[in-house]
Amino acid sequence: MNGQDAASYLNRMVSNEVEELDIGASCEALLLTPKARIVAPLVVLRRAQDDFLLLTEPEAGERLARELLRARFAAKCAIEAEEHRSVVVLGAAEEDFVSSLNELALPNRDYGVPAVELLDADAPEEAEPIGEHELERLRIIARTPRLGRELDDRVMPAEAGLEERTISFTKGCYPGQEPVARLHYRGHPNRGLRVLAMDGSELPAYDAELALDGKAVGRVTSAAPDPEHGVVALAYVRREVPAEATLDLSGRRITQLGA
């Protein structure tokens, strides 16, 4: 997105404060519906005074561009899709890499360890590849939600634990601000993401129901093999369920690792 109104328009549309970003700085944000349902998670990078790169999941790119174009009206800015390739380097810090116009290094908080996402660049020669299951395991243990798993049109940001990372409560209006603020200041989410552990090697199905004392209290959203626990999973669990409670998944004993 670029143009003389790019900063002000983008700031009116997303959940975090982007108009005050320094050139070269980035932040996480969300594009929401008026009812505060998640359209797309974003990393917003300010490339120049009037030029922003919006990074999102590949499956969200088309809808993100469409929603921004639909609401643009008289704002003087261009919104065009760009394709970039990325690689995440775990155990690295942003200062270990030098960003340029063609190669960018952004901090990544998704895996619970220091990490950098490199855009249009290759991983260092000494870096060793990590398996998909291991990367998923780290994401689950870090309680990081992912689009299409934890994040869909049923979920509000507070339920997914995204308030601290993606929302400013001091900026101006944006779509979805009213329900987000109302929940933050006057209430609490009825459910939240928790990390679960279960014996065995079979991964539970997406949306598999969790029960406590015969009553449905949650649903599984992601799972991965784990060398210590057998399987670890992310799940939305109702707020009133005690953190020490043992849950049931079709007869399978479920332990909560985080609440």
pLDDT of residue 153: 87
In what order do the strands lie in the sheet containing 26-32? 26-32, 38-48, 51-55
Give dist(CA 19, CA 10) in Å, integer: 8
- Has residue 259 got a pLDDT over 60? yes
pTM: 0.91
Burial label, 159 (beta-carbon count in 10 A; 0-12, 13-18, 19+): buried
> Is residue 99's pLDDT more than 90?
no
| Average pLDDT score over residue span 46-65 | 95
- Residues 58-95 have pLDDT tens digits of 999 999 999 999 999 999 999 999 999 999 999 887 77
Q: Which residues contact 179 (CB under 8 A, 6 or more apart)?
A: 35, 36, 156
**Which pLDDT belongs to residue 111?**
96
- 156-211: pLDDT as tens digits: 999 999 999 999 999 989 999 999 999 999 989 999 999 999 999 999 999 999 99
Q: Which of 41-50, 91-100, 135-144, 162-171 has the lowest mean pLDDT?
A: 91-100
Evaluate whether 212 touches 248 at the Cβ level (below 8 Å). Answer: yes
pLDDT at 104: 83
Give the residue from 120, 150, 159, 163 showing the smallest Cα distance to 28: 163
Give the architecture (CATH level 2) of 190-259.
Beta Barrel (2.40)
The full set of domain ranges for the chain reads 1-83+132-188, 86-131, 190-259
Flag whether pLDDT at 98 surpasses 90.
Answer: no
Give the C-alpha distances (Å, rounded to integers) separating 105 from 102, 110, 135: 10, 15, 19
The rounded distance, in Å, linking the Cα atoms of 138 and 244 is: 22
Q: Are 163 and 247 in contact (CB under 8 A)?
A: no
Would the pLDDT of 51 be above 90? yes
Among candidates 154, 161, 168, which has minimal Cα distance to 193? 161
pLDDT band at 105 (very low <50, low <70, confident <90, very high): confident
Q: Which residue has the higher pLDDT, 211 or 98?
A: 211
pLDDT at 176: 97
Q: Which value, to the nearest 10 degrees, does the dihedral of the CA atoms of residues 255, 228, 145, 134 take?
A: -160
CB under 8 Å to 213, separation ≥6 — which residues? Answer: none
Contact 10, 52 (CB under 8 A): yes
On average, the pLDDT of the chain sits at: 93
CB 204 within 8 A of CB 233: yes
Q: Is the pLDDT of residue 101 over 50?
A: no
Given the candidates 3.30.1360.120, 3.30.1370.110, 3.90.320.10, 3.50.50.60, the CATH classification of the domain at 1-83+132-188 is: 3.30.1360.120
